[in-house]
Chains A and B, each alone.
Chain A
Amino acid sequence: MVIIVIAVCALYASPNLYGEDYAVQVSASRNAEVDTRLFEQVKEQLQQDGIDIKSIALEESHLLVRLKSGDDQLVVKEKLEASLGNNYVVALNLAPATPEWLEGLGASPMKLGLDLRGGVHFLMEVDMKAAITRSIEQMEDDFRNSLREEKLRYRRVEQKSDRVDVQFRDQETLDQAITFLEKSNPGVLFKDEGDLLMTATLSELRLKEIREYALKQNITIMRNRVNQLGVAEPVIQRQGSDRIVVQLPGIQDTARAKEILNATATLQFRMVDIEHDVRDAVEGRVPPGAQLLMDRKGQPQLLDKRIMLTGDHIVDASSSFDEYGRPQVNIKLDSEGGNKMSRGTKDNIGKPMATVFIEYKPTSEKDKDGKIVFEKHEEVINVATIQARLGNSFRITGIDSPAEAQNLSLLLRAGALVAPISIVEERTVGPSLGQENIELGMQAIFWGLVLILAFMPIYYRKFGLVANTALLANLVMIIGVMSMIPGATLTLPGMAGIVLTVGMAVDANVLIFERIREELRDGRSPQQAIHHGYDSALSTIADANITTLIAAVILFAVGTGPVKGFSITLAIGILTSMFTAIVGTRAIVNAVWGGKRLNNLSI
């Protein structure tokens, strides 16, 4: 049993020995696909350029090109970027060189933390206050319009920090207004304050929804932008109620990363120019007052230069299905946007309207101040025929697929951020430091191990060798378990944790061996001494380790980043060391000394 457990751990620990290949990873951006065609294209091109590659593989969502040397990495990246264009994202990566049969078993090397790999860690905070203020502003706007529409006369509507006050002229209108507004504004609490004053505040539930929405929206946008950065394995996660963690391994240029993460995207609604011929425009005769843009399928579209509405009026966009089960996107505008839309569409019923997505994409060039030059990138994401005069909520139908509808609604939302975001924590580790940290950690583990391995046989003779075997097995198990658990990452403090466990792991054996010596001193026979030694040390070892485990678990629960890494290795180390030191050594001891008549023990 012991041998099996250790063998399994050794098997799963083994991918760590194979190291990593320099690789370039190609994934599709918005409107492209990673398929065999791309595979052939990339392969052909690399052959043409005479670059020596190890392998090309089509993986789940990306194409992975393994290279023989690190020098080729940048060259290949630049060449592929140039030839594949905007539709694909090319990223540098280090791919584990685990053999296939091991990968088939689900074995993979340990994940390294940013402090060992190099990269950037951002903690971003969403400005929830701004999100809530925005909804209150909108509420004010909305009340004014709907009360006017309902012909409920008010003296004034005023926005206070966390509420909207409406002053009426008489009690009757106030009552009517409350009944009316309550119906159309679920999630808003209305209260008659006396003196003909009505206040409206957002309910707890609604506030929670707003916060949740702001956070989710920001996460989606971050994900979109990080994809443009070309990072191989980014992590974008929410942390707590208003924070987002963004981890970009391997990114060196933080300034660039930050500019991209803070980049803006906007939307415009514009009419399609149907009076002129698109073909003429494609040939270079673009009529004045019009602009030629490409849509997502690469088809040219001739648009009116006048902007009917910009994306910052969009309050919400979501995808759903219409009454015939076809995908659609529902858009809600604020009241000013609704008015503009209404005016703009009044005379254009039956004509096509285009939605243009404008992004500022970073280029590899820099201007004279060293700032990155952003390229304005306009794209028509949708053309739809106006069916009726539009107000502050309308929908776009005629979309090909539900996935497309979802994507469109996401883009629409990305056009208007409800809450700004700011960086509250940043940790950048250069690649040289990461490599150095790995080396230092390995050295510390090595020397700690050597010292213990030398000491134990001197003090406990043959039993010391048994403890050494257990210690080595323990190290293999820690690495094996760390590689097996998907969420476990190895950090520098984590390596310190391994060093510490190496020192403490022998404790269990020390306890047992001291017990055996005592029993021998008390005059028991060697076999009895071994037996008693193990038995009576057991509860002590368990108690002692459980308390350390408690400390490790608390560290894990409270700690972040590096501290978590430490607590994981500490906890795993405690568990594996209990196994190897108690069960493991017992097995060896039984195999060596068991069943024999012994006169003395080498302890």
Chain B
Amino acid sequence: MRIFDFDKEVRFMSLRWPAMIFSTLLILGSIVSLAVNQLNWGLDFTGGTVIEVGYQQPAKLEQVRKQLNEVGFGDAVVQHFGSSEDVLIRLAPREGVKSDTLGDQVMAALRASGEQVDMRRIEFVGPQVGEELTEQGGLAMLVALVCILMYVAMRFEWRFGLGSVAALAHDVIITLGLFSVLQLEFDLTVLAAVLAVIGYSLNDTIVVMDRIRENFRKLRKGEPEEVINISLTQTMSRTIITSGTTLLVLLALFFKGGALIHGFATALLFGIFVGTYSSIYIASSVALMLGISKEDLMPTEVEKEGADLDPLP
């Protein structure tokens, strides 16, 4: 079976300016949203206490709020989590109170009325730990980008390196933008997902670039733009199939994986979309704009390729 049958080259690059403008708008929108709305930082980064409790029957949030108010937790954010029997209670870090006992106090307050309340999870993160995690997370993202830039530059060519990193930055910013616009909670697992998006998007980009390089060498004639178009067309069906299979499993994760990894699945689902798009339009367009040409890819590459393959597992 074959869904995509591209016998002729598709002129992807003719659309590169509209695509660039579209992406620029998205990025600007994301940055504005990040600046205005900011991210809805999760407990991991802000510090504080989160308590998840399970009731036998659908829980009445009003009543839970009232119970908490009585014992001085008026500022608690109370919401359903996953199902109507589960309630998530969020408390900001507070001064003076020994914060590590907050969870137990809340449980005691909820149980005071004699109702059967099941403790499902309590998480407490001190404000200092939160700050450190934020720093580490940002650092991880930067280090990842730099390492990848280095690898691609070494393996291919600096224009490709910049192109792929531009694509990655594009994906990361827009994914973060989505989380900011929708005010979805951004916790450690989402950060992990964003890094996985980096890995995935790069995977896509590399496949395309590999083909571009091969075609630059193989095709005698050909303007850079044409070669890129041919390469994109050739890899198109692979790109779509792989994205398709990955999206399939992510849908399974999104619908079956439970509330705890919802954010994770959302970030990946969206990231894969953006990543697929960016490897077509951003990475190759940037390389093209930087003036990639046949000569850049010809010398020394032939022997290098074989030499590089050996140490692989």
Contact = CB atoms under 8 A, between A and B. Distances in A.
Contacts of B52: 433
B18 interface: no
Interface in B183-222: 188-189, 191-192, 195-196, 198-200, 202-204, 206-207, 210-211, 214
A539 B144 contact: no
Interface stretch (A200-208, A306-314, A381-389, A497-505): A497-505
Given A423-B100, A504-B246, A542-B309, A554 B140 contact: yes
B224 interface: no
B140 A555 contact: yes
A234 interface: no
B80 interface: no
A493 B189 contact: yes
A500 B268 contact: yes
Interface residues of A, number: 83
B199 A548 contact: yes
A563 B189 contact: yes
B305 interface: yes
B291 interface: no
Contacts of B119: 252, 428, 430
Contacts of A443: 256-257
Interface string B46-74: 00000010100000000000000000000
Nearest to B133: A560
A341 interface: no
A510 B235 CA distance: 11
Interface residues of B, number: 80
Contacts, number: 239
Contacts of A452: 245, 248-249
B252 interface: yes
A557 B137 CA distance: 11
A593 interface: no
A546 B151 contact: yes
B238 A570 contact: no
Given A424-B128, A496-B264, A548 B121 contact: no
A496 B103 contact: no
Given A422-B100, A493-B261, A500-B268, A543 B155 contact: yes
Contacts of A423: 100, 124, 126
Nearest to B268: A500
Contacts of B151: 546-547, 550
Given A504-B200, A558-B139, A543 B245 contact: no
B309 A548 contact: no
A510 B140 contact: no
Interface string A485-513: 00000001101100110111011001100
B144 A543 contact: no
Interface string B103-138: 110001000000000111111111011000100110
Nearest to A502: B249
Interface in B131-171: 133, 136-137, 139-140, 143-144, 147-148, 151-152, 155
A579 B143 CA distance: 28
B26 interface: no
A427 B258 contact: no
21 contacts: A370-B108, A426-B103, A428-B123, A429-B120, A433-B52, A440-B256, A441-B257, A444-B257, A448-B248, A455-B244, A456-B245, A495-B257, A499-B252, A504-B203, A510-B238, A546-B312, A548-B199, A550-B148, A559-B192, A562-B192, A563-B188
Of all A-B residue pairs in the complex, the 5 with the closest CB atoms, nearest first, are A448-B249, A503-B249, A424-B126, A551-B199, A548-B199
Interface of A: 115, 123, 125, 252, 254-255, 258, 370, 422-430, 432-433, 436-437, 440-441, 443-444, 446-449, 451-452, 455-456, 458-461, 492-493, 495-496, 499-500, 502-504, 506-507, 510-511, 514, 517-518, 536, 538-540, 542-552, 554-555, 557-563, 566-567, 570, 575, 578-579
Given A433-B121, A544-B206, 20 more contacts: A424-B125, A424-B126, A425-B126, A429-B120, A430-B120, A459-B241, A496-B253, A499-B250, A503-B249, A504-B245, A511-B238, A518-B234, A540-B207, A544-B204, A551-B148, A554-B140, A555-B195, A557-B140, A558-B140, A566-B189
